[in-house]
């Protein structure tokens, strides 16, 4: 287990001040969290994308608070020092400020997160304000917001036109003013991301497919390692094809069992002759 000290909000702002990019990844389970902690990743998001990557749904809407809490608890056990963010699932914060605070509180109390994330701009400012006033750090999420994919017209670049880009800039400011400590920009043009980063006073800007000019970068873990066979977004860099390695191993295992190559002697345990003979006698 790593010797790292617990990452705090002042640590993250210090990195921003020093111009050191923040690393952030999604994570949904204990073994992956263990590796991300060992690799020294600063921020871990337990995204509601687990609906697709872990539960096999087509989107994020069916994901419940209980799904999120269960996975977040496992991630916290594997990554005790990372800055851990729980992603608020569909309808856990949209209905009212009270619901938003209650569910954000569940992440903190039951899964020991450091923060929560929710999607939406100025229209969510009262939720952000309420959660932040309850003492819970909250990250906003703008650009491509998967919970609204139906109204956004699909998984595509947001803010290409000046008018839509201006709205994203205004939304980022509204979230910051409401008390968001960070804003994630997903799939917006690099220059829009740059403008938002330059205009942020007290807010950490994280880019997901929005270019290098942010305070930090996020990737979806499953995209990095070829673990989500249905789809590979262009913004994802593949650092290794674990999916291929796993599939190859599974096929070899199936073959070796059929051909009686597995198990070999080193994979099981024997018994002393004397004990075995005694056993046979008992059976007679």
Are 131 and 101 spatial neighbours (Cβ–Cβ below 8 Å)? yes
Bond before 248 cis per omega within 30 degrees:
no
**To the nearest whole angstrom, how small is the minimum distance from the Cβ of residue 117 to ligand KIV?**
7
- How many C-alpha atoms does 65 have within 13 Å on its Cβ side? 17
Bond before 198 cis per omega within 30 degrees:
no
Nearest to 134 by CA among 168, 100, 171: 100
Residues at the contact surface with ligand KIV, assessed by CB under 6 A: 26, 45, 47-49, 87, 141, 146, 184, 186, 208, 220
Q: Quote helix, strand, coil % in the chain, to nearest 5.
A: 45, 15, 40
**To the nearest whole angstrom, how small is the minimum distance from the Cβ of residue 90 to ligand KIV?**
11
What the block records as the tokens of 125 is 């400012």
Report the residue number whose CB is nearest to ligand KIV. 47
Instruction: Give the pairing of strands 115-119 and 182-186.
Output: unpaired
> Please, which residue, 48 or 176, has the CB nearer to ligand KIV?
48
> Please, which residue, 200 or 210, has the CB nearer to ligand KIV?
210
> Please, which residue, 34 or 207, has the CB nearer to ligand KIV?
207
**To the nearest whole angstrom, how small is the minimum distance from the Cβ of residue 146 to ligand KIV?**
6
Q: Name the residue with tokens 């800039």.
A: 169
**To the nearest whole angstrom, how small is the minimum distance from the Cβ of residue 267 to ligand KIV?**
38
> Please, which residue, 174 or 208, has the CB nearer to ligand KIV?
208
What the block records as the tokens of 57 is 């749904």
**To the nearest whole angstrom, how small is the minimum distance from the Cβ of residue 258 to ligand KIV?**
39
Q: Name the residue with tokens 């000019």.
A: 213
> Please, which residue, 146 or 216, has the CB nearer to ligand KIV?
146
Q: Report the distance separating Cα 130 and Cα 63, nearest Å.
A: 23
Are 176 and 132 spatial neighbours (Cβ–Cβ below 8 Å)? no
Residues known to be catalytic: 186
């Amino acid at each position: 287990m790593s010797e790292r000290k617990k990452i705090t909000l002042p640590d993250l702002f210090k990195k921003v001040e020093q111009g050191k990019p923040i690393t952030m990844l999604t994570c949904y389970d204990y073994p992956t969290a263990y590796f991300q902690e060992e690799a020294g990743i600063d921020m871990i998001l337990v995204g509601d994308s687990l609906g697709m990557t872990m539960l096999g749904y087509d989107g994020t809407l069916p994901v419940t608070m209980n799904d999120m809490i269960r996975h977040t608890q496992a991630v916290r056990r594997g990554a005790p020092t990372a800055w851990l963010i729980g992603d608020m699932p569909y309808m856990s914060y949209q209905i009212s400020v009270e619901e938003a605070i209650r569910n954000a509180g569940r992440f903190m109390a039951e899964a020991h997160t450091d923060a929560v994330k929710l999607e939406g701009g100025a229209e969510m400012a009262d939720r952000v304000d309420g959660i932040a006033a309850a003492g819970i750090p909250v990250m906003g999420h703008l650009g491509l917001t998967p919970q609204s994919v139906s109204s956004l017209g699909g998984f595509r670049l947001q803010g290409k036109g000046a008018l839509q880009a201006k709205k994203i800039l205004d939304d980022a400011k509204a979230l910051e003013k409401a008390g968001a400590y960070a804003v994630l920009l997903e799939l917006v043009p690099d220059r829009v991301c740059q403008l938002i980063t330059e205009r942020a006073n007290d807010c950490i800007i994280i880019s997901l497919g929005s270019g290098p000019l942010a305070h930090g970068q996020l990737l979806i873990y499953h995209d990095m390692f070829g673990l989500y066979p249905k789809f590979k977004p262009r913004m994802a860099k593949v650092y290794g094809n674990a999916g291929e390695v796993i599939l190859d191993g599974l096929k070899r295992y199936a073959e070796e069992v059929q051909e009686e190559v597995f198990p070999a002697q080193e994979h099981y345990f024997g018994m002393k002759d004397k004990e075995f003979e005694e056993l046979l006698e008992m059976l007679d």
